[in-house]
A and B are shown apart, each in its own frame.
Chain A
Amino acid sequence: MSYISVKHLNKEFKVAQRGSGLKNAFKSLIKRKYKIIKAVDDISFDIEKGEIVGYIGPNGAGKSTTIKMLCGILKSDSGAMKVAGFDPFKDRVKYVKNIGVVFGQKSQLWWDIPVIDSFELLKSIYKISDEEYNKTKDELVKLLELENLLSTPVRQLSLGQRMRAEIAASLLHNPKILFLDEPTIGLDAVSKLEVRRFIKEINRKRQVTVILTSHDMTDIEALTNRVIVIGHGKKLYDGTLTGIKKKFSSGRRLEIIYRDLVNEPVIKGTKIIEKGNNKVVLDVNIDEISISSVIKKYTDVCDIEDVNIINEDIDNIIVKLYKGYDL
């Protein structure tokens, strides 16, 4: 049995529908119409200990519903869930000692007081012993480079610093699983890189299983190769990021800089995007022709000075993927 095992998970919501206008506002007070939305529709997956998994999907796809069920906040309608040997909802109080949660938009630190005070409070919430607390805290402080921030009130921290403190706060009780919901939202480029590095380190050093959601595909790409994609509550894809790329990026873009070309070769399976000044940019459909064959065709007719293979932007691929499933 896997460390996290989710089988045929379902969750429906009743959503009240209401027209606009004062008349409808009064109407809806008396009688409401409901629409049933399948937020999570027969989702199954397995995650092994120590994995980092990216859980992605467009807004309203059912990501946070799934996360909430995994955290024991929401009860599923049907299906089975086992996380680290617990049923998250039934064993909630025992189970949540084993998880750490960072909701990107919601801080668990006290805004007006130094970081360390929030840590102390979490210590007593989780009933962490002094010894263990000091050990974990020192480790995390070193790992997340928080030495100089501990006595600063949270409101004076930069967003990146605050996110680091958030992550440390969620790890004080030594959880085995870490849920990260949009951990890099709003961060600048440098802080993003830092946060990613820390997540990786924590995963490696502490063997923490990490499940993260993000709209920033570069996050996912930097952190993990395993992604689960959901849309309209259904699981659309579960596998490697490279797999998605293969499946949805129909081609590679090739930039060739050459000399002495007389006749542009016509190659089946390629499309010229840009031409001129001893340079050509083409899209290559790798199902039809391999990159090396294209290059070979060019070497036959000219001298090649430089070749660049441009991978399609991961964001574009995801957009294609969503489009492919009509999201």
Chain B
Amino acid sequence: MKLILNYLSIHLKVSLEYRLPFFFSLVSQVLYMFIELFAVYALFSKFNLLGVYSIDEILLSFSTVWFAFAFSEMFLRGFDNFARLIVNGSLDLLLVRPRNIYLQIFGSDICYEKLSRLLAALGLFIYSSGKLIKHFTIGKVLLLGNMLLGGIILFMGLFIIGATFCFYTIQGIEVVNVITDGGKQFAEYPMRIYKKSLRLVFTFVIPITIINYYPIDYLMGNTTNIMYIFLPLLTFIVLLLSINVFNFGLRKYHSTGS
């Protein structure tokens, strides 16, 4: 725990070493998110769908995914840029230290520039859920918490799976971003707009529907099934799976060194 705080403070120090660029990055990061949001909104209004989908539903779908994504971008930067860690030999350095490797990869890079996105997404989430939910119940509040938590867990898993690819090939690793960025891109729209077959892919392959599509159903009162409240936590399966896959890759690294 002390080490985590230490990592957090050391990276903050690094960020504040260059104040002006850091400030511009904060602005540009959050600007980019709002531009995406704007594009989503633009499409819904062009297709006259704002009656079918309320602005709050759009906002809530969008902010859930972006919160989870920004969280992972900020704190899992080491996994996001894992190729660099391998190429420049940093991974070897981490492996000669007597600490958990996941903890050290987390500590290798923390991207405070994403903080603006994270907070803005959280703000949108709170605002839109407050407006979307007609009658608050404990279950719904609990579900909101689970959506945030589940989102973080899911994207953690996706980032770790992405990093695992780097054990096998370093070249052209941008393909990996397809999983994370692509998932985000799909799910920033309310997912009931998609065909059912596509939704199934995003339930059973990349289970992104369970962090916003199904929970929003519950929040809007379309269902009262209690199971929905805990659905987002199933993302744990993805995280467990990804850790196993990553450990497997790490073993390969231990035996081939590349």
Contacts and interface: CB of A to CB of B under 8 A. Distances in A.
Check if A and B associate. yes
B89 interface: yes
B247 to A, nearest CB: 14
Give the interface SS of chain B, mostly helix, strand, loop or mixed.
helix
B14 A73 contact: no
A73 B88 contact: no
Contact of A101 (B2, B93, B254): B93
B90 A106 contact: yes
Contacts of A92: 95
Given A106-B88, A121-B7, A121-B10, A93 B257 contact: no
Contacts of A94: 98
B96 A99 contact: yes
B92 interface: yes
A96 B254 contact: no
Contacts of A65: 257
| Range for the number of chain A residues in contact with chain B | 20 to 34
Interface in A91-148: 92-94, 96-97, 99, 101, 103, 105-106, 108, 110-113, 117-118, 120-121, 124-126
Given A68-B92, A106-B93, A121-B6, A75 B255 contact: yes
Contacts of A96: 95-98
B98 A97 contact: yes
A197 to B, nearest CB: 25
Given A103-B92, A112-B17, A124-B3, A73 B10 contact: no
A73 B256 contact: no
A101 B257 contact: no
A265 B47 CA distance: 107
A52 B98 CA distance: 24
A13 interface: yes
Interface of A: 13-14, 65, 68, 71-75, 89, 92-94, 96-97, 99, 101, 103, 105-106, 108, 110-113, 117-118, 120-121, 124-126, 153
